[in-house]
Amino acid sequence: MRAVIQRAANASIDIDGQLSGKMGRGLVVLFGVEKGDTLKDLDWIVNKCLEIRVFEDSEGKMNRSLLDIEGELLIVSQFTLYGNMKKGNRPSFNRSAPPDAAIPIYESFVRKCRERLGKIKVITGKFGAHMDVSLTNDGPVTILIDTNQKDF
């Protein structure tokens, strides 16, 4: 599993041309599932996404998490995170899990985030739909997390 985390001042998502949700300060998480991924790493990546300390404390240091600031969360499924540019100029997505394998993992990721965040607003995209994601990347701050690179 792979997640691209962006600290956002605000964000919104349109699904098939219709506004589906918007949020204020928080995180936008683009979430991809690779062939062969299982639920065994799900708790690890959920914890990393929700506990990553990218929000500033009173001294201006990135020392606070989404949980600490009670920020909002937008989660978007993104099979293109596994795009491979090894050959040519057109990406290959053969490392991305097919929908029948990816959807249950994506849905479990969303459910676990909602459980951990409780009353904090969580909005999502729609797996496989055309989505327009708008955000103001605050910082900018963008972090890549990959379950296959836990030692990175």
Verify whether residue 136 is a known catalytic residue: no
Orientation angle between helical segments 42-51 and 99-117, nearest 10 degrees: 50
Chain position carrying tokens 């990347």 = 137
pLDDT (0 to 100) of residue 151: 73
pLDDT tens digit sequence for 71-115: 999 999 999 999 999 999 999 999 999 999 999 999 999 999 999
Q: At 7, is the pLDDT very low, low, confident or very high (cuts 50, 70, 90)?
A: very high
| Residue 6, H or E segment | strand 2-15
pLDDT at 69: 97
Average pLDDT of the residues in 55-72: 97
Residue 76: count other Cβ atoms within 10 Å of its Cβ.
Answer: 21
* CA neighbor of 145 nearest in space, from 4, 37, 18: 4
In single-letter form, the type of residue at position 41 comes to D
Q: Which domains does the chain have, with CATH numbers?
A: 2-149 (3.50.80.10)
Per the residue annotation, which of 38, 80, 136, 142 is the catalytic one?
A: 80
SS3 labels along 47-111:
HHHHHCCCEECCCCCEEECHHHHCCEEEEEECHHHHCECCCCCCCECCCECCHHHHHHHHHHHHH
Percent over 70 (pLDDT), the chain: 99
Residue with tokens 């955000």: 135
What pLDDT is attached to residue 21?
96
pLDDT of residue 86: 92
Answer with the residue of higher pLDDT: 26 or 128. Answer: 26
* pLDDT number for residue 150: 81
pLDDT band with cut points at 50, 70 and 90 for residue 152: low
pLDDT in tens, 111-124: 999 999 999 999 99
